[in-house]
Structure 1
Amino acid sequence: MQTPAPARIRLLLLTDTSIAFSGGSERFLRNLVTLLPRDRYDITVVQLDAGGFPESEKHHLADGDAARIVHLPVEAIYGRGGLRALRTLRSMVAGGGFDIVQSHHEKSDLINALLPRRPGCVHISNRRDMGYKKSAKLKWLFRHLNPRFDCVVAPSQQILGELARSEALEAGRMLWIPNGVDTQRFHPRPPPARAAIRQSLSLQADALVFGCVARLTPEKRHVDLVDAFARMHATFPQARLVLLGDGPLQGEIEARVVSLGVAGAVRMTGMRPDVEAILPALDVGMLVSSTEGMSNAILEMMASGLPMIATDVGGNRSLVASGATGLLVPARAPGRLAEAMLALAADPALRHRMGEAARQRVEREFSLAAMVRAFDQAYRRLADVA
C-alpha cells in the first residue's frame, strides 16, 4: 500500500525588509524560503519594506516558484500604509488560506499580533536580535502582545533570555533554533584561489588581512574596529583591513580611516555579491558589534576557515569559543580589540589551528541543513501535520 504524501503547509512569512537585501536576517529568510521542501510547503512572503519592490528579488529566490512575494509598503505602522497592510493581511488570514503566520522584525510582529485568530492557524514571532532598537514603551507593549503568539523562535539562548527578562516571555512559548550556514558555499579555498582574490582586491600576497562583514551602522561599531586596526598597524605595517558592507555611516568611517593615517591599508568594498569568494582570502574574521543576536556573518567567516575576533555580546559567545576558534573581547574597547589583533597577527600557527577548529565547529553544529530541518519539524509539530 502506497504511503500518502505529507500534507502541504501553507506558510505566510511577514518581514519588514526586502529579502533581496544583504543583511543577516534577509539571508536567513532567503535560505528558509528556498530550502524548505517545495513539495511540502506553499509559501507567501509579504514584505513591508517601504523602499519599493526590487527587481533583483526574483534572482535571490533561486530558480522556480519557491515563494509568492507580495509587497505592502509601510512607512510607519500607525500610518496609512500600516493600516492598509493590516486590512489586507486580516483579509488574507481570515480567508483560511494559511496554516502558519510567521513574522520577522517589529512592524511585522505588531501586525501578526493583531491578526484574527482562527482554529488551525499558528502564529509565530521570529526574533533575530537582542531588541536593541525597542524603546521601553515598545517592550511594554510586547509584554502584552507576546501571549498572542503560539511560539517565539530565536537563534540564540541569549535572545530568549533577554525576552524573558524585558518582555516577560513565558518559557512555554520559547523555541531555540540556531542559525545555519551553507558550508558548500562558504568554505576554505586553495592557495591559488586565495592569491587571485587578493590580487583583485589589490592585496599583497604577504599581507596579513583582517576582514569584517557588516552593515555600516552604529551598533556594528566600525569606529572601534578602525581605531584598533590603526593601533596594531603601527606594529604590523603589512596588516590590511577589508570592510565588506555599506550603510549610513560610510562617509564617517571613510573620514576616520583617513584621519588615522591608514587609508592605504583599508579596503572598503561595499556589499559584495561574491562574499563567499572573498572571505577565504582573509586571515582573520572580525565582528565588533555592541549588540548581536546570532550572527550569520560570524558563521560564514568560520565556515570559510577563519579564526574570529568578536565582541563578547549576545549570541557571539555561543559561536566563538574563545581560545579555541577565536578570541572574544569586550564591546566598545578598542584597546582590548587591538591586543587581540596583535596576538593573532604574531602567531600564524594559532591562526591556522583556530581557523580549522572554526570550520569543524560549523560543520558539526551550525549547518544550514540542520537549521532548515529544525524549522520543518517545528512547523509540522505546531501545525499538527503528519
Structure 2
Amino acid sequence: MFILPWLKGGNAETYVVNLARSIDPKEFEVLVWCKGDWGPVGDELGRMGVKVMDGPISPLRPDQMFRLWRYVRREHVDIIHSLSLRPTAGEAFMSKLMLRKYVSSRRSTRQWEGKNKVRMRDRVRDRFTDKIVTNSNMIARLAGRLENVPVNKLVTIYDGVPMDELSQWSSVQDGEELRKRLNIPEIGYVIVNVADMRHSKGQMYLLKAFHEARSKFLGETHLIICGEGEERDNLELFIKHNSLGSRVHIIGAEEKPAVMAAGDVFVVSSLGEGFSRSIIEAMALGMPIIATSVGGNPEVVMDGLNGIIVPPADSDKLSDAMLRVGNNIARRKDMGQKSLDRARSEFTLEKMAQAHEEMYSKLMGKD
C-alpha cells in the first residue's frame, strides 16, 4: 500500500500510477492511501481499478491511526510504502506494531533543506524502516550521510517512462504547428526547457547563456521555456530588456507535448535537483541533453556521449555547451540517438517495475 500526501498531481503521484500500471498483478495488488487533498490522480487510479482510501494519518490522533490499522488488516496489506516528503515516525512505528514491512522514499533534496533539518524523530523513524528507496545514487549518499541510514537499507531505483505514450508526443505535425505559431523556421535550431519557473530551476542563467550565445549560433536559434511559476515575471522582464522577444518564447505547461516535439536540444539549468524525470522523457524522444551537474543528472546524462554536463549557475559554460551542440548537426544527431538508446535500455517502466518487484519480494522472503 502506497501512502501519498495528496492526489493533485506531481512526480510522486506519477511514480505510483506508473508502478500500478506496470507491476505484475499476479504477484502484487496496489492500494493507495491519500493523506491530503483529492485530485485527478485519484480519479485516474480509480479508473485503473486501484483501491484508494483517503484521510489524514497523524500519530497524535489515535482514531486516525486505528483507522489505518483496521484498513491494513482488512485488506491484508503486507508492505506499506510511504512517498510523503517527510514520512512520520508514527507511520513506521505503526507498521512495526502491525508486523508489516515499512518502506519510505527519498526523491529530492527538499526534505533536508532550510528548516527541514534531520531531527531525532527522523532517526527513530529510520530505525523502524526496512528499506529506503531513492531515485538517484546522489540522494542515497545524502540519506546515508544526513540521516545515518545504513547502506543495506538503501536501494536506488531510477524512474522509468512510458515509451509508448511518449512516442505519441513526438508528433511531427504538433511540433511543426508550434514552430509555425512561434515564427520558428523549419530549419531553425530549437532549445527547450520544461520546468517550473522558480529560482531553483536556474532559468535566469539559461536566459543569460542564450543571450550571450545568440550572435554566435550558425543558424536561427530559438529558446522555448515551458512551465509556470513565480519566477515568470522576472524572466519576461529580462527578455524584454534584452530584446529577446522574437527568439525566446515562454508558454504554459499544458503545451509540453508540442514543445517536446518541436525541440532539438533539451536543457536542464537547475541549481539543485533530485532526479529529473523530464530528462528521461527528452531522451526517450531522441534529444541530446545539456544539464547541470546537480542531483542525479550526471547519472543519467553521459557527458560527451548523449549530452553535456555543465556546472550549475554558470551561464558561460551553459552558453558554450549550447553552441557546441547547436553548431554541429552531426554531433547533435549522434547524441540524440545515444539518448534514445539509453532511455530504451535503462529507463523503461518495465525496468522500474521489475526493480520494485525484486525489492518487495526480498522483503517478504520470497527470493
TM-score (norm 2): 0.88
Deviations 1:56-80 (A, max 9, x none): 3355438431x22233369xx79x9
The residue type equivalent to 2:25 in the other structure is: R
Q: What is the distance in 1 between the residues matched to 2:332 and 2:152?
A: 42
Query: What does 1:235-254 correspond to in 2, within 5 Å?
Result: 235-236=216-217, 238-254=220-236
Q: 1:163 aligns with which of 118, 140, 143?
A: 143
Correspondence for 1:356 = 337
Deviations 1:223-277 (A, max 9, x none): 21122122222333722112222223333333333233212322222222x6345
List gaps (5 residues or longer) in structure 2: none
Query: What does 1:173-192 correspond to in 2, within 5 Å?
Result: 173-187=153-167, 189=170
CA contact (8 A) 1:13 1:102 kept: yes
Q: Identical aligned pairs, as a percentage?
A: 23
CA contact (8 A) 2:136 2:274 kept: yes
Correspondence for 1:268 = 250
The residue type equivalent to 2:262 in the other structure is: A
CA contact (8 A) 2:80 2:95 kept: no
Deviation at 1:182, TM superposition (A): 1.7
The residue type equivalent to 1:27 in the other structure is: T
SS of residue matched to 2:29: strand
Query: What does 1:9-48 correspond to in 2, within 5 Å?
Result: 12-18=1-7, 20-21=8-9, 23-48=10-35
Q: Which has the higher helix share?
A: 2
Deviation at 1:171, TM superposition (A): 0.8
Correspondence for 2:240 = 258
Q: What is the distance in 1 between the residues matched to 2:241 and 2:353?
A: 45
SS of residue matched to 2:118: helix
The residue type equivalent to 1:16 in the other structure is: P
Correspondence for 2:38 = 53
CA RMSD across the alignment: 2.8
Deviation at 1:112, TM superposition (A): 2.5
Deviation at 1:203, TM superposition (A): 3.2
Deviation at 1:289, TM superposition (A): 1.0
Deviations 1:129-166 (A, max 9, x none): 23465346631332332111100011211111111111
Deviation at 1:286, TM superposition (A): 1.0
Q: 1:122 aligns with which of 95, 101, 109?
A: 101
Distance 1:44 1:106, change over 3 A: same
Q: What is the distance in 1 between the residues matched to 2:112 and 2:239?
A: 27
Q: 2:119 aligns with which of 122, 131, 140?
A: 140
CA contact (8 A) 1:182 1:367 kept: yes
Residues 1:290 and 2:277 aligned together = no
- The answer to which of 358-367 and 185-194 deviates more is 185-194
- The answer to which of 322-331 and 151-160 deviates more is 151-160
CA contact (8 A) 1:185 1:276 kept: no
Distance 1:99 1:306, change over 3 A: same
Correspondence for 1:346 = 327
Distance 1:378 1:59, change over 3 A: same
The residue type equivalent to 1:34 in the other structure is: R
SS of residue matched to 1:184: helix
Residues 1:195 and 2:176 aligned together = yes
The residue type equivalent to 2:279 in the other structure is: I
- The answer to which of 241-250 and 286-295 deviates more is 241-250
Correspondence for 2:285 = 304
CA contact (8 A) 1:14 1:108 kept: no
SS of residue matched to 2:163: coil
Deviation at 1:353, TM superposition (A): 0.6
Q: What is the distance in 2 between the residues matched to 1:195 and 1:32?
A: 33
SS of residue matched to 1:310: strand
Distance 1:289 1:349, change over 3 A: same
Q: What is the distance in 2 between the residues matched to 1:83 and 1:106?
A: 22
SS of residue matched to 2:166: coil
Deviation at 1:294, TM superposition (A): 2.1
Deviation at 1:90, TM superposition (A): 4.7
Residues 1:106 and 2:88 aligned together = no
CA contact (8 A) 2:86 2:111 kept: no
SS of residue matched to 1:138: coil
TM-score (norm 1): 0.84
